[in-house]
Amino acid sequence: MAVSLAITSFGKTLSQIGDPRFRRVLFKGIGLTFVLLIAVYTAFLMFLNWIGAGQTVQELLGNVSWVGDLFTFASLFLMIVLSIFLMVPVASAITSLFLDEVADAVEDKHYPELPDVPSVSFSEGLKDSVNFLGLLIAANIFALVLYAIFPPFSLFIFWGLNGFLLGREYFQLVAMRRVGRAEAKKLRKKHIGTIWLAGTLMAMPLVVPLLNLVIPILGAATFTHLYHQLEPSPRQAPSR
């Protein structure tokens, strides 16, 4: 049942790519995702330099002169490789910027009977995204210990952990538009198994370089469909 809902939701998302409004949001999202990836990558390299690990990485991969030569072939190759890990916080950050736009495009086409809802304010969305981002970073730092202890299962740990966290975030923000924060938390707990599975299916392609650039926007659309399949009754969002 959970697998069927996740696949159906993703299928509906793919079916809307031909919609000019949705495609416009998708291309904007891809562009901003790439920009955010570069920003996170640059911050990561500066951090490596700060802790003294930059020279070691340069010796292993060649002459990657961090910020000055950010767009050299070697640096871009390193960014693509690191995007396997760096795309998780980027996907989290994208939600506060594009969720309303994506959800509106999906709901106007597939759920036109629903009443309009007020947009989540930028400050409100930013607050939630920062909180989730902090949780993501802390959890993934802890996961490094698990990767070292159970190296054969590292990829599965990565998928399971980030699937849970990203699914939790995306569903919470989608549901909050319709039913408010408190009710969204209740629904998240009620459907946690399905949400975790859908989040894991979203986390899996995040480890595929270049393909992972489209996942944050497609994920937001998929979780919009998932919410409406799990809670099909039209609702008007209460004041937040």
pLDDT in tens, 77-109: 777 777 777 788 888 878 777 888 899 999 999
Residue predicted with more confidence, 172 or 40? 172
Q: How many CB atoms lie within 10 A of CB 51?
A: 7
Under DSSP, the state recorded for 231 is: S
CA distance 180 to 182: 6
What pTM, to 2 d.p., does this model score?
Answer: 0.81
What would the two tokens of residue 226 be? 């998932």
CA distance 11 to 7: 6
Q: Which of 39-48, 178-187, 198-207 has the lowest mean pLDDT?
A: 39-48
Q: Is the pLDDT of residue 236 over 50?
A: no
Percent of all residues in the chain with a pLDDT value above 90, rounded to a whole number: 35
Q: How many CB atoms lie within 10 A of CB 207?
A: 17
Q: Is the pLDDT of residue 76 over 90?
A: no
pLDDT at position 42, please?
79
Q: Which residues contact 233 (CB under 8 A, 6 or more apart)?
A: none
Contact 191, 169 (CB under 8 A): no
Q: Is the pLDDT of residue 2 over 70?
A: yes
Q: Is the pLDDT of residue 64 over 80?
A: no
Give the chain's mean pLDDT. 81
Q: Which residue shows structure tokens 């909050």?
A: 176
pLDDT at position 211, please?
86
How many residues are there in the chain?
240
pLDDT in tens, 125-160: 667 777 887 888 889 888 889 988 999 999 999 999
Q: Where are the domains of the chain?
A: 2-32+85-230
